[in-house]
Amino acid sequence: MSSFSAYLRRLTYAALTLAGIFGPATSHAVPLYARQTGLGCSACHFGGNFPELTKTGREFKLMGYTLGNRQAIPLAGMLQLGMTRINDNSINSAQPSQAKNGDLVASQISLFTGGKITDNIGAFVQWTSGYDVNQNGDQYVRHGGIDNTDIRFADKTKVGGKDLIYGVSLNNGPSVQDIFNTTPAWNVNPSATPSGPFQGYGINTANGSVTPTLIDGGLAAQVYGIGAYADYNDFLYAELSGYQTADGIFSVFRAGQDTTANRYTIRGANPYWRLALHGDSGPHSWEVGTYGMVADVYSDQTTADSLTDRFKDYALDAQYQYAKGPHRASVQGTWIHEDISWNANTGNSNLSDTRETWRLRGNYMYRNKIGGSLGFFSNTGSADANLYGTPTGTPDTSGYILEADYIPIQQVKLALQYTAYNKFNGTSGVYTQNPDGSDRRPSDNNTVYLLGWLMF
């Protein structure tokens, strides 16, 4: 672990030096919103987990990011310095190389804009530069593109003597607009990329993990959606949206993404729904809900003349938060079931398949300074040998994540994360062979991820 100690020292020095350059030691989470509202990070973000929202943060989002004073220069930034190290970096010849394994890199750089535009219109807009596989599939290259984006109109009125917040959201991915941190846009799936609670921006070193459910990130930054939402009496939250391929005047919502091989994503308008009950009492906050989507996906992404396959995703989710004195604790869980009809019949073994995804995690933070999390994840599905090509013909991948967090100052987060796989590509045993002929097992993909996260 001596090399990790050196990496940790380098991350700490770099993050604190940049913090001194870009902001004072009493800074906030997303500085654009902090400057606009005058609130510190703990007012809107729970327990040092920057994306996880408190009641105040949820209301700020519901009201369209309009609380406070409009900023003359509505900009903020994020830098993630990270190092990923996989247990066995041998690769299958069909997979991209892991050139960044063990390297300290700027794994993600983001620029934020938006905030208050008028008294009723605001936005969250993120542009991100990170590493991706090049078009030849043989090495990682830096790639920039639009990230989570949400533009809103919002207002408030009284119905039956109770508050009703209502609005319209224009965004670029199902659940980007959600106010809870259980839905896919704010909860990366480690079955597809080694990741933990909220991070997941390291270099992907899991060789060959299969596709999860569609709603679990498959449409991110490829579509645009318009929907109406309402929250009644801080108890009932509901939303109905429709999503289409982001092209024409809406192509800005997929700017910088690969549109050569994935120009046509979904056909027509595809419905997304959300319903949640939630409440707050003293130090306790809770939520239980459901969300889902029906989408017709082109079988040939290069032409709109191709047949479409239908994906029906149904999900349940729940969240609990506790905040009292120096203690912050939360639990989030989600379960997604997917029914797929292969109408295009492009060679799959079955005419229909099912998939399921579930995730559960718990987080704890002491004085918003030091803490950690434990998470479990699983992707399963019906056997389809031609679709998956795994030893069992299933996509089954599961494991757990351990993470330790330290926040030396409000705008800097240091994390050490370990992702372990007990099942990978359908089996807990050998799922493929390395180029040297040795067997490759799920544990060979176990990954350590060291992260320095700076907001400025």
Place of tokens 């938006």: 114
Q: Which superfamily is assigned to 2-455 in CATH?
A: Porin (2.40.160.10)
Buried b or exposed e, range 400-429, using 16+ CB within 10 angstroms:
bbebebbbebbbbbbbbbebbbebbbbbee
Angstrom distance (rounded) from CA 382 to CA 208:
18
- β-strands 327-341, 352-366 pairing: antiparallel
Per-residue pLDDT 10s for the chain (456 aa) are 455 556 555 555 554 554 444 443 333 356 888 889 988 777 888 876 678 899 999 999 999 999 999 999 999 998 888 888 888 877 644 444 455 677 788 878 899 999 999 999 999 999 988 766 554 444 556 678 898 999 999 999 999 999 999 999 999 999 999 999 899 988 755 544 433 333 433 444 455 566 789 998 888 888 999 999 999 999 999 999 999 999 889 999 988 876 666 678 999 999 999 999 999 999 999 999 999 999 999 998 888 889 999 999 999 999 999 999 999 999 999 999 999 999 987 788 999 999 999 999 999 999 989 999 999 999 999 999 898 888 899 999 999 999 999 999 878 889 999 989 999 989 999 988 877 778 889 998 888 888 898 888
Q: How far is CA 372 from CA 207, 252, 414, 416, 451, in A?
A: 27, 37, 11, 9, 13
Expressed in angstroms, the distance from the first to the final Cα of the chain is 30
Three-class SS state of 204 = coil
Angstrom distance (rounded) from CA 364 to CA 92:
38
Our CA angle for 198, 201, 203, nearest 5°, is 145
Angstrom distance (rounded) from CA 396 to CA 377:
11
Q: CA torsion sign, 30 to 31 to 33 to 38? A: positive
For residue 359, report the phi and psi dihedrals to the nearest 5 degrees.
-140, 145
Our CA angle for 300, 301, 303, nearest 5°, is 75
Chain-centre distance for alpha carbon 129: 15
Angstrom distance (rounded) from CA 305 to CA 172:
24
Q: How far is CA 283 from CA 276, 320, 325, in A?
A: 20, 11, 9
Angstrom distance (rounded) from CA 409 to CA 411:
6
Nearby residues of 72 by Cβ (< 8 Å), 6 or more positions away? none
pLDDT value of position 27: 33
Q: Contact, 145 vs 128, CB < 8 A? A: yes
> HSE on the CB side for 104, CA within 13 Å?
16
Indicate the DSSP class of residue 292: E
Nearby residues of 46 by Cβ (< 8 Å), 6 or more positions away? 52, 53, 54, 57, 321, 323, 328, 330
- Which candidate, 249, 258, 190, places its Cα nearest to that of 220? 258
Three-class SS state of 139 = coil
Angstrom distance (rounded) from CA 406 to CA 260:
41
Angstrom distance (rounded) from CA 160 to CA 164:
9
- β-strands 447-455, 327-341 pairing: unpaired
> What is the gyration radius of the CA atoms in the chain, in angstroms?
22
Indicate the DSSP class of residue 248: G
> What are the residue boundaries of the structural domains of the chain, listed by start?
2-455
What is the enclosing helix (H) or strand (E) of 239?
A: strand 236-245
Angstrom distance (rounded) from CA 67 to CA 358:
35
pLDDT value of position 281: 95
